[in-house]
Amino acid sequence: MTILVTGGAGFIGSNFVLDWIRTNGEPVINLDALTYAGNLANLASLQGNNAHHFVRGSIADGETVGQLLRDNAVRAVVHFAAESHVDRSISGPAPFFETNVMGTLHLLEAVKAYVGTLDADSKAGFRFLHVSTDEVYGTLTKDEPPFAETNPYKPNSPYAASKASSDHIVRAYHETFGLNTIVTNCSNNYGPLQFPEKLIPLIIHNALKGKDLPIYGDGLQVRDWLYVGDHCSAIRRVLEAGKPGETYNIGGDNQKTNIEVVKRICALLDAKRPKADGSSYTSQITHVTDRPGHDRRYAIDARKIESELGWTPEADFDGGIEKTVDWYLNNESWTAEVTSGAYRDWIARQYA
């Protein structure tokens, strides 16, 4: 038995691959195009492990995907591969629709063709798990209830629109072609191996380098923070027991404003890596012009996955963020390697 993971060299994908092999041991075919956020160093601990087979390639390459499915008798696909940064989608939307929409379509076509060759039992047992985001639901006011699976889609950024489109395609392939698809919509992930364009690793990186800590607008945007290890365990549970055709929202039950998150990181760094002059890292906080269409609040209602599948998150935010800060402090060489000149140029333009 083998699973195919797309985007398994990225942040959530690589954490999932590491978690899967550690807890399950079932072989993984890891397909990743190794764009800027994909990093084989994330998988260095699997060097020589026969349970992990990495293939550099695109989800849009139906021939390669089909061959991988057939040659390895794949029983499930876990689809992480995506362009995922809202800011980049605003400055250049096209790659988001090429990968997230058309890439997912080509992937589904290859999977559909493969499943059509399986016997009845294998076909019934096959799963296609599509990993998506809470951003497809739009934004919440301060007092609105969290997003449930029944919320209408109201994407507000090109990224969210591309993920919403891919969610609908996945659903259509279940309804029209009988493919056993499942969609998960998660809240904001954080943890080890996250590319430092996202808020938490960016703040840690900039703080240690003595740079400004850029906060959009007033910093009161609210996110429901989900530790990546909890997300991995939720995906494992959905793959094991989720019902085809269903959607499961996955959240951390940790609603925090961006400014709260940044100040908590600064406090941890003050204690663990104090500045030579004795000042707090909070002195580096700088408020910058808010980005267009910035959603004010996200929150996840995860009662469905709890009641139907028995999953709840384990990490509270204080414990999860401390583990995350510790990982980045202990792996500064990893950050140095991924923050290339191109990365630095992009950050300079984005937060000018």
Is 159 an annotated catalytic residue?
Answer: yes
Smallest Cα–Cα separation from 113: which of 50, 152, 65?
65
Q: Please tell me the total number of residues recorded for the chain in this structure.
A: 352
Phi, psi of 311 (to 5 degrees): -100, 135
CA distance 334 to 19: 19
Q: Any catalytic annotation for residue 114? A: no
Give bridge partners of residue 5 from the DSSP assignment: 30, 78
> How many Cβ atoms sit within 10 Å of the Cβ of residue 316?
13
Considering the candidates 32, 87, 135, 246, report the single residue annotated as catalytic. Answer: 135
Render 247-266 in DSSP notation, one character per residue. Answer: EEEE--S-EEEHHHHHHHHH
266 with 280: CB under 8 angstroms?
Answer: yes
Contact 43, 6 (CB under 8 A): no
Q: What is the rounded CA–CA span in Å between residue 238 and residue 251?
A: 14
Could you tell me the two tokens for 282? 């909070």
> Is the distance from CB of 7 to CB of 13 less than 8 angstroms?
yes
- 167 as an active site residue: the answer is no
Q: Which of 32, 134, 253, 301 is catalytic?
A: 134
Identified catalytic residue from 114, 159, 173, 190: 159
Q: Are 319 and 229 in contact (CB under 8 A)?
A: no
Count CB neighbours of 44 within 10 A: 9
| Spatial distance between the Cα atoms of 182 and 245, rounded to a whole number of angstroms | 5
Q: Which residue(s) pair with 134 in the sheet?
A: none
Q: Are 127 and 180 in contact (CB under 8 A)?
A: yes
Count other Cβ atoms within 10 Å, centred on residue 210: 9
With 0-12 / 13-18 / 19 or more C-beta atoms within 10 angstroms meaning exposed / middle / buried, residue 50 is exposed
Q: Provide the 3-class DSSP secondary structure of residue 156.
A: coil
- Residues annotated as part of the active site: 134-135, 159
